[in-house]
A and B are shown apart, each in its own frame.
Chain A
C-alpha cells in the first residue's frame, strides 16, 4: 500500500517531466528558437555591452536630468504604496477572520482584494492607459492597484497570525470593536505591516521602471529615450542610477526593519 504511493508519486513526477519537455520543444518549434544559437550569442552580447554600454564623461552632463526623473519615479512609487497601504489595511481588517464584522462582508472584501491581486501591475498599466493616456498618473494608479491587492493579502495573514489570542481576550472583557482594533490588532501587527510596506516600495520602484516604458513617464521613459536614440552611454548611466537607487532603498528599509522588529 505504502510502496504503491511512492511508486505512484514517481510515475507522476516522470509524467510531469515528459510533459514539460514536450511543451518546451513545441514552443521552440513554433517560435523557431534555436537553443544552441541563443547560448552561443551570449558572449557576443557581453562583448557588445563592454564596448558600448558604459557611461562617458559626456553622458554625465545628463545626470541632473536623470536624477530628477529617478526622483519622480521614487516618489510616485512611495506615494502609490503608502496610499494603497491605507486602503489595504482597512480591507484586511474587514476581511480577516479574526476581525471581520460578519462572514458575508468578510468574503466580499476578500473577493475584491483577490481580483486586484490577480491582475499584474503591467496589466493594470495597459488597462489604465486607455483612461489616463501616457502620463505618470497611469503609472501611479497601476502601482496603486497592484500594491493594494498584494498588501491586503499580506496584512490579512499578518492580522490572523498575530492577534487572534488578544482579540479573543479583549472581546471577553466587553471591549468594543474599535477599541479592540486600536489596542490589540494594530499594536500587534504594526512591525509586520511596516515591513510589508517597505518590501512593496522596493518592488514598486523596480516595477515603476518597467511601467515607465509603457506609460512614457519616469525613469523608464528616460531610459527608452536615450536607448532608442542610440545614446548607449547615457542609457547605461540610467541603469546605474536605477541600480544605485534600488540598493539605497533596500539598505534604508533593512535598517528600518532592524530598528522596529
Chain B
C-alpha cells in the first residue's frame, strides 16, 4: 500500500549553524496513529510544521497523497493544507469569538476571499459544525465565547476546527501538554476515536512516553534532530527510551512492562 505521507531526507537549518532536523525520513500509512517523542528541543515541533510548510524545510522532500509538498505554489499549498488539520498546545483559538465561529474557521480554506472576509457560511456547514461539537461533548457551549472555556474544552474546539476541514490527516503539536490528566485523557480518547472511526491519520507530538505507548500504533523517537527510533509502540524498550532521551531518560524510566500490560 502506498503511504499517505512520506518524508525523505528532510533537513532544517535555522540561521547559520543550528540544525534542527538532520536527514529525517519516515512514512505514515493511511489511518495510522503515530506519536513523535523526544526531549525538549529535539525538533518535534519543527518537523510537524515542515509537513504542512508552516516552516519551510531546508532540504529533502515530502509527499502527501500525490503532492510534492516542497514544490507547491501558494495556491496548491493552501489546497493541500485544507486536507491537513492542525492542533496546538495553546489551542490557538480566537478568544473573543464564539465556539461555533471558531469551529467554522476550519472552513475558511475552501472559501472565496469575499466569503472568507465576511464570514459567510452555508447552512450545511453550520449544521456540520453543530454535529461535530455534539460528538465532542460541547453541545452546551456552542454560543459561548472561547475565552470562557476550560483548557480541555478549548482543545476540543481546536479538534472541532480541524475536523470540519474533512481532513485526511491531523498534525497535533503537544495537544495535552497544558492539560490536567483527566482532560488530557479525554482529548487523547477523542483523537484515537477520530483515527479509528473516521479513518483519519493522526500524527501527534507528545512529551509523555506512557501516553504515546498507550495510544499509538507506531512511535517515532527523535533526538537532536535525528530519528533514533521508528517502530511499533509495543516494541519500545527501556534501551530505546534511553537512546531517545539521552541523559534525561533517568527521570523517565518507569516500569515499562506495566505500561505495556495496561
Q: Taking beta carbons and an 8 Å cutoff, which residues of A are in contact with B? A: 163, 165-166, 168-176, 178-184, 187-188, 190-191
Interchain residue pairs with CB less than 8 A apart (29): A165-B88, A166-B92, A169-B105, A169-B161, A171-B81, A172-B86, A172-B171, A173-B82, A173-B109, A173-B165, A174-B80, A174-B81, A174-B82, A174-B109, A174-B165, A176-B78, A176-B108, A176-B113, A176-B116, A178-B117, A179-B111, A179-B117, A182-B116, A183-B105, A183-B117, A187-B94, A188-B94, A188-B95, A188-B96
Residue of A176, A178, A188 with most partner-chain B CB within 10 A: A176
B161: A residues at CB distance < 8 A: 169, 173
Verify A170–B113 contact, CB threshold 8 A. no
B110: A residues at CB distance < 8 A: 174
Chain A facing B: main interface SS: helix
Verify A178–B113 contact, CB threshold 8 A. yes
Contact with A along B181-209 (1 / 0, CB 8 A): 00000000000000000000000000000
In the complex formed, the residue of A with least CB distance to B52 is A172
Interface: B85 (CB within 8 A):
yes
In the complex formed, the residue of B with least CB distance to A172 is B86
The total of chain B residues at the interface (CB under 8 A) is 36
Verify B108–A179 contact, CB threshold 8 A. yes
Interface: B119 (CB within 8 A):
yes
Q: In the complex, how many residue pairs between chain A and chain B have their CB atoms under 8 Å apart?
A: 92
User: Chain B nearest CB: distance from A166 CB in Å?
Assistant: 5
In the complex formed, the residue of A with least CB distance to B93 is A166
Query: When chains A and B are docked, how far (Å) is the Cα of A175 from the Cα of B165?
Result: 11
Interface: B54 (CB within 8 A):
yes
A166: B residues at CB distance < 8 A: 92-94
User: Chain A nearest CB: distance from B164 CB in Å?
Assistant: 9
B91: A residues at CB distance < 8 A: 165
Verify B108–A169 contact, CB threshold 8 A. no
User: Chain A nearest CB: distance from B122 CB in Å?
Assistant: 16
Interface: B106 (CB within 8 A):
yes
Query: When chains A and B are docked, how far (Å) is the Cα of A176 from the Cα of B118?
Result: 13
Verify B117–A170 contact, CB threshold 8 A. no
Query: When chains A and B are docked, how far (Å) is the Cα of A169 from the Cα of B108?
Result: 11
In the complex formed, the residue of B with least CB distance to A188 is B94
5 closest A-B pairs by beta carbon, nearest first, are A174-B109, A179-B116, A174-B81, A175-B108, A165-B92
